[in-house]
Amino acid sequence: MDPVIQLDDLTVRFGNFEALKQVTGSFTGRAIGLLGPNGAGKTTLIHTLLGFYKPASGSARIFGKDLRTEQKEARSLVGYMPERDAFISGMSAVRFVRMMAELSGLPAKQALERTHEALYFVGLGEARYRPLETYSLGMKQRAKLAQALVHGPRLLFLDEPTNGLDPPGRERMIRLIKEIRDAGEVNLILSSHLLRDVEECCEEVLILKGGEIAYYCNLEEERSANRKFLELEIIGAAERFVEGARSLDIQCEQHGRRRVKMIMPPERKVRNLYELASEHNVQIRHLDYKKDSLQDIFDKAMREG
pLDDT (tens digit per residue) in 95-107: 999 999 999 999 9
Residues 243 and 155 in one domain: no
Query: pLDDT, tens digit, for every residue of 56-100?
Result: 999 999 999 999 999 999 999 999 999 998 898 899 999 999 999
- pLDDT of amino acid 230: 85
Residue 257 has a pLDDT of 82
Q: Is the pLDDT of residue 288 over 90?
A: no
pLDDT of residue 305: 60
- Does residue 296 sit within a domain? no
Domain end call among 178, 204, 223: 223
Q: Mean pLDDT across the stretch 282-289?
A: 87
Is the per-residue pLDDT at 231 higher than 80?
Answer: yes
Q: Kindly report the CATH number assigned to the domain that includes residue 232.
A: 3.30.70.1340
Burial 197-226 (b: 16+ CB within 10 A, else e): bbbbbbebbbbbbebbbbbbbebeebbeee
Mean pLDDT of the chain: 92
Residue at 257 is within a domain? yes
Q: What confidence tens digit (pLDDT) does each residue in 244-279 have?
A: 999 999 888 888 888 898 888 878 888 899 999 999
| 71 and 201 part of one domain | yes
By CB neighbour count within 10 A (0-12 exposed, 13-18 middle, 19+ buried), where does 162 fall?
buried
Structural domain includes residue 201: yes
Is the model's pLDDT at 290 over the cut of 80?
Answer: no
Return the pLDDT at 227: 57
One domain, residues 268 and 129: no
Does the pLDDT value for residue 110 go beyond 80? yes
The answer to whether residues 135 and 28 belong to one domain is yes
Burial 49-62 (b: 16+ CB within 10 A, else e): bbeebebeebebbb
pLDDT at residue 130 greater than cutoff 70: yes
* CA–CA gap between residue 188 and residue 293 (Å, rounded): 21
- Residues 183 and 263 grouped into a single domain: no
Residue 303 in domain: no
Mean of the pLDDT values across residues 184-210?
94
d(CA 68, CA 58): 10
Q: Identify the domain boundary among 181, 196, 223.
A: 223
Residues 248 and 219 in one domain: no
**Within a domain: residue 160?**
yes
- The 10s digit of each residue's pLDDT in 161-193 is 999 999 999 999 999 999 999 999 999 999 999
Per the domain annotation, does 72 fall within a domain?
yes
- 59 & 203 share domain: yes
Domain that holds residue 284: 227-289
What CATH number is attached to the domain comprising 163? 3.40.50.300
Same domain, 103 and 247: no
Q: Are 129 and 194 found together in one domain?
A: yes
Give how far Cα 298 sits from Cα of 44, 229, 290, 303, Å.
20, 18, 16, 9
Which of 203, 223, 243 is a domain's end point? 223
Same domain? 167 vs 278: no
The reply to whether 187 and 244 lie within a common domain is: no
% of the chain at pLDDT higher than 90? 71
In a domain? residue 301: no
| Percent of the chain topping pLDDT 70 | 97
* pLDDT value of residue 223: 65
Least confident stretch, 114-128, 245-259, 260-274, 289-303: 289-303
Answer yes or no: do 51 and 175 share one domain. yes
Tell me how many domains the chain contains.
Answer: 2
